[in-house]
Structures are given as C-alpha cells and as structure tokens.
Amino acid sequence: MASVLESLKAVNAYPIPLRTLVEVGEARALTLNSEASQDVLRSAAFKLATADLLLWLSLAPNIAQGGQNYSFSDEQRQQFRNRANALYDEFEDDAEKPKPIYGYKGSRL
C-alpha cells in the first residue's frame, strides 16, 4: 500500500520538491509515512493538502529536467486553481483560498 507522501506525489507527474510536500503535509497535520488508507484519502486534511498542491502547481514554473520538459498551459493552470478552489469551498477553508485584490489604480480619484 502507498504512503500518504506517495499519494500526494501522485497528484501530478510534475516533480514537486520534497520540502514542498513535507510543508503541505505538516500544515495539514498529515503523517506522511503512514499508510494511505481509504479513511485518510477521504479525510478533509488530505483533500485540503491536495488543494494546496494544486494551487502550488498553478504557480509552478515550466522546467526541463533529465531530458523531460514539464510545462503547463494557461488553461491547465486555471483548471488547477479551479479544482483547488472547489476543494477549499467543499471543506470551507478560506485561509488558503486566494482573495481578490481591490484598490485604486491610476493617477486621479
């Protein structure tokens, strides 16, 4: 059976740094070395960690590593954000959800 860490890595084939996975797991109080049981995979903590990774992927740079290119189109990045926001909405976590920025832009009021 896969561990929680391996399950988080499986969110996407993009090479997410281990420190990012560890930070996301710790922020959501997941035990990364434990077995990824059905209860863990269905838990709010795991789903919110997945949303955190999807949001991270929406901002991830395009890279070339080991002869492979990893890049996302603007549509894919928007889909990552939409999926992350849907998970945040489902589990009512507004802390991580990006908020709109309002303000005056210009030289005159």
Ordered by start, the domain boundaries in the chain are 4-90
> Using an 8 Å Cβ cutoff, are 46 and 3 in contact?
no
* Integer Cα distance of 24 and 16 in angstroms: 11
DSSP for 5-62?
HHHHHTT-SS---HHHHHHHHHHTT--TTSB--HHHHTSHHHHHHHHHHHHHHHHPPP
Alpha-carbon gap, residue 21 to 16, rounded angstroms:
7
**Along the 109 residues of the chain, how does pLDDT read in single tens digits?**
789 999 999 999 899 999 999 999 999 999 999 999 999 999 999 999 999 999 999 999 998 878 889 899 999 999 999 999 999 988 875 565 556 666 666 666 5
